[in-house]
């Protein structure tokens, strides 16, 4: 089958809840993807940070296949020999007492919401059904009905009401707005240390540190959503480390599965996750042995291959080069580590289409931002090549018509 045939099948039989670039990928290795026509592309999205370790990493593949041959699922009705080892690995890596594993990032956020609400009622003493969790404007924590209730993006909300109450909204980066919203019924402040879907927005220096101090002062839990930003993406193991804080709760996912298997988790100390009793919460697949073995290998790769340090060093290198581009449409280059937003003054989609035609894959976010987030195993030579493609596309535009998308397929990396 040819590319257009696959696209037609997907359009005919699949729900149209995504707007993908029209490319049909069949293989991946490291930072490179190959489509069904045999063309190779440099992946600069990394499945929204789910493949920080690169596509089909051999060490994760080995752990995945070995475990798949032995045991994949027992449910949590029984114990397995991989989950306790994952718990220990996460404790040793992060310092948190306890882990509660789930599958998707959205499930982990829902789990954190339940944990901090129950903590609010049973430990803090908030009156029944009065607990509030403060969230930030521009947030993206998932797409469940509860989570979209505290989204400020109308598209994520339209048609899905009624909405779940109990989530006051504050301006991201505005510490005084946060201060004004905290009250005796506030159980937690849920925040992305760097906002990803909003366009790789880094908060003002000191904001997270002061927010954590305010939370501690008012007996409010500070909850960091590190699903995209964590596990090396931002140039630190966790993005909150830039502010030298220790959140009460950390939510992780995506790269925890190394691109092989969906696994997410909530990390916290015993005084928070200890509020759960048998039957309070669960998941048939959460913490299954295949997921646990895969996650353990994914974490080992991050540590053994120094991917956090690579992200920091190569991210700085990449951003420094990108800031040399002179284009009337490029307004800002921002980010941390290998998580970069190119802010344009017009829609970014045509630029992403043009980059695809030059053998580089990335995706627009919030209409006018090109998100650059390659697997952390990318090399400096590959960054240099990507830079040349970006520079060529950004400097080839002379009008606001987006005619860059009409570029011919010029450059393919082999």
408 pLDDT higher than 50:
no
**What pLDDT is attached to residue 414?**
34
The answer to whether 116 touches 272, Cβ cutoff 8 Å, is: yes
Three-class DSSP category at 153:
coil
Query: C-alpha angle 350/353/354, rounded to 5°?
Result: 90
Rg (CA), the chain: 22
User: Closest Cα to residue 355, out of 308, 388, 332?
Assistant: 388
198/137 Cα distance (integer angstroms): 9
pLDDT digits (tens, 9 = 90+) for 223-281: 999 999 999 999 999 999 999 999 999 999 999 999 999 999 999 999 999 999 999 99
pTM: 0.95
**Model confidence band, residue 413 (pLDDT cutoffs 50, 70, 90):** very low
CATH number of this structure's domain 307-343+355-374+391-396: 3.90.1150.10
**Model confidence band, residue 398 (pLDDT cutoffs 50, 70, 90):** low
**What pLDDT is attached to residue 397?**
66
For strand 360-361 and strand 264-268, is the pairing parallel, antiparallel, or unpaired? unpaired
Point out which residues pair with 31 in neighbouring strands: none
399 pLDDT higher than 80:
no
Catalogue the long-range contacts made by 18-23 (C-beta closer than 8 Å, 24 or more residues apart): 21/352, 21/353, 21/356, 21/361, 21/363, 23/356, 23/361
pLDDT digits (tens, 9 = 90+) for 72-98: 999 999 999 999 999 999 999 999 999
For strand 330-336 and strand 264-268, is the pairing parallel, antiparallel, or unpaired? unpaired
Q: Residue 183: left (phi > 0), alpha (psi -120 to 50), or beta? A: beta
Percent of the chain whose predicted confidence (pLDDT) is above 70: 96
pLDDT digits (tens, 9 = 90+) for 132-163: 999 999 999 999 999 999 999 999 999 999 99
The answer to whether 117 touches 133, Cβ cutoff 8 Å, is: yes
User: Closest Cα to residue 284, out of 75, 63, 36, 15?
Assistant: 75
**What pLDDT is attached to residue 400?**
47
**What pLDDT is attached to residue 410?**
42
pLDDT digits (tens, 9 = 90+) for 155-207: 999 999 999 999 999 999 999 999 999 999 999 999 999 999 999 999 999 99
Backbone φ and ψ of 381, nearest 5°: -60, -40
Q: Report which of residues 301 and 366 the model is more confident about.
A: 301
What would the mean pLDDT of 206-211 be, rounded to a whole number? 98
**What pLDDT is attached to residue 385?**
98
**What pLDDT is attached to residue 402?**
45
By annotation, the residues acting in catalysis are 140, 225, 254
Where do the domains of the chain lie? 58-304, 307-343+355-374+391-396
411 pLDDT higher than 50:
no
393 pLDDT higher than 80:
yes
**Model confidence band, residue 71 (pLDDT cutoffs 50, 70, 90):** very high
CATH number of this structure's domain 58-304: 3.40.640.10
Percent of the chain whose predicted confidence (pLDDT) is above 90: 95
The answer to whether 185 touches 126, Cβ cutoff 8 Å, is: yes
Residue labelled with tokens 């989570």? 147
Average of per-residue pLDDT values in the chain: 95
């Amino acid at each position: 089958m040819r590319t257009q045939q696959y696209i037609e099948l997907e359009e005919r039989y699949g729900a149209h809840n995504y707007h993908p670039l029209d490319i049909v990928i069949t293989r991946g290795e490291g930072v490179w993807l190959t489509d069904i026509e045999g063309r190779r592309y440099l992946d600069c999205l990394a499945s929204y940070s789910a493949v920080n370790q690169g596509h089909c990493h051999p060490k994760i593949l080995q752990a995945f296949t070995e475990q798949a041959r032995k045991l994949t699922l027992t449910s949590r009705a029984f114990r397995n020999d991989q989950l306790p080892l994952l718990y220990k690995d996460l404790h040793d890596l992060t310092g948190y007492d306890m882990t509660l594993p789930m599958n998707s990032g959205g499930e982990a956020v829902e789990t954190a919401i339940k944990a901090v609400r129950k903590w609010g009622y049973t430990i803090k003493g908030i009156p029944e059904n009065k607990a509030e969790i403060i969230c930030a404007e521009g947030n993206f924590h998932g797409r469940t009905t509860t989570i979209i209730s505290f989204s400020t993006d109308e598209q994520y909300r339209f048609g899905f009401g009624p909405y779940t109450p109990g989530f006051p909204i504050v301006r991201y980066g505005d510490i005084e707005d946060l201060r004004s919203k905290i009250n005796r019924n506030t159980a937690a402040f849920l925040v992305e240390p760097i906002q990803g879907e909003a366009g790789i927005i880094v908060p003002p220096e000191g904001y997270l540190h002061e927010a954590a101090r305010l939370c501690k002062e008012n007996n409010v839990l500070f909850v960091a959503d590190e699903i995209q930003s964590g596990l090396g993406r931002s140039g630190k193991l966790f993005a909150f480390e830039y502010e030298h804080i220790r959140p009460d709760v950390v939510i992780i996912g995506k790269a925890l599965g190394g691109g092989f298997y969906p696994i997410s988790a909530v990390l916290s100390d015993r005084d928070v996750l200890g509020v759960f009793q048998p039957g309070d919460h669960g998941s048939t697949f959460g913490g299954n042995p295949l997921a646990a073995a895969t996650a353990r290998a994914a974490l080992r790769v991050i540590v053994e291959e120094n991917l956090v340090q690579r992200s920091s060093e190569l991210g700085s290198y990449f951003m420094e080069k990108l800031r040399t581009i002179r284009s009337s449409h490029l307004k800002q280059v921002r980010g941390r580590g290998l998580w970069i937003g190119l802010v344009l003054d017009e829609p970014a989609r045509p630029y992403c289409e043009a980059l695809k035609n030059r053998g580089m894959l990335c995706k627009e976010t919030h209409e006018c931002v090109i998100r650059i987030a390659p697997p952390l195993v990318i090399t400096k030579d590959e960054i240099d090549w990507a830079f040349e493609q970006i520079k060529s596309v950004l400097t080839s535009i002379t009008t606001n018509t987006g005619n860059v998308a009409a570029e011919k397929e010029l450059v393919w990396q082999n």
